[in-house]
Amino acid sequence: MNKLKDTDIQSAIGWVLRTGVFLSIGIVLFGGIVYLYRHGNEIADYHTFKGVPDFVRTGANILHGILTFRGRAVIQGGIVLLIATPIIRVLFSAVGFILEKDYLYTSITILVLLIIFISMLSGHAG
C-alpha cells in the first residue's frame, strides 16, 4: 500500500470537509439573521408535527426561495450543502482510489454512494 498517495487523498478530504462545514454554517448564519430580522417577534410553534412549509422542502422550491431572498430558504440551502459535504467527501475518496488503481475500494465507495442515492429516492416516495 502506498502511504504517500494516501496522504495526498487525506489532505484533499480534510479540505473538502473543512470548506463544506464553514461555507454551509456561514450560509445558515446569514439566512438566520435575515429570518430573525423579519420573523423574530412571531410566535414559534413546533409543538405538533406538520412538516416544514413547501418553500423549504424540495430542491426547486428552495432554489426559488433563495432567489426571492427568503431567510428560511437560505438557511435550508446551507443545510443541504452541509448534508452534501460528507457525500462529496465519499466522491473524493472514489477518485483517490481510482488514481491508486485500487479497484476493490473503488467499487466499495461506489456502493456506498449508490446506497445514499437509493435512500434519497426512498424519501421521495415516502
Partner 1 sequence: MSVIELTIIILIGSYFAGLLGSLTGLGGGFIIIPLLTLLLHVDIHYAIGASLISVIATSSGSAAAYVKEGITNMRLGMFLEIATTAGAMTGAMLAIYTSTHYIAILFGLILISSALMSLRKKTGQITKHKSYLAEKLKLNSSYPTADGEVEYGVNNVAGGFFMMLFAGVISGLLGIGSGALKVLAMDSIMRIPFKVSTTTSNFMIGVTAAASAVVYLQRGYIDPGLSMPVVIGVLLGAMSGSKILVNSTSSKWIRVVFSVVVSVLAIQMIYNGIMGKI
Per CB under 8 A, residues contacting partner 1 are 1, 6-7, 9-11, 13-15, 17-18, 20-21, 24-25, 28-29, 31-32, 35-36, 39-44, 46-52, 56-58, 72-73, 75-76, 79-80, 82-87, 89-90, 93, 102, 104-105, 108-109, 111-112, 115-116, 118-120, 122-124, 126
Q: Taking the complex as a whole, how short is the minimal distance between the CB of residue 109 and partner 1, in angstroms?
A: 6
Could you tell me if 110 and 94 are in contact, meaning their C-beta atoms sit under 8 angstroms apart? yes
Q: Taking the complex as a whole, how short is the minimal distance between the CB of residue 84 and partner 1, in angstroms?
A: 8
For partner 1, give the closer residue by CB, 47 or 67.
47
CA 62, 66, 69, 71 dihedral sign is: positive
Q: Cα 52–65–43 angle (5° rounding)? A: 45
Q: Taking the complex as a whole, how short is the minimal distance between the CB of residue 126 and partner 1, in angstroms?
A: 6
Q: Which residue reads 461555507 in cell numbers?
A: 23
HSE toward the beta carbon, residue 35, CA cutoff 13 A: 16
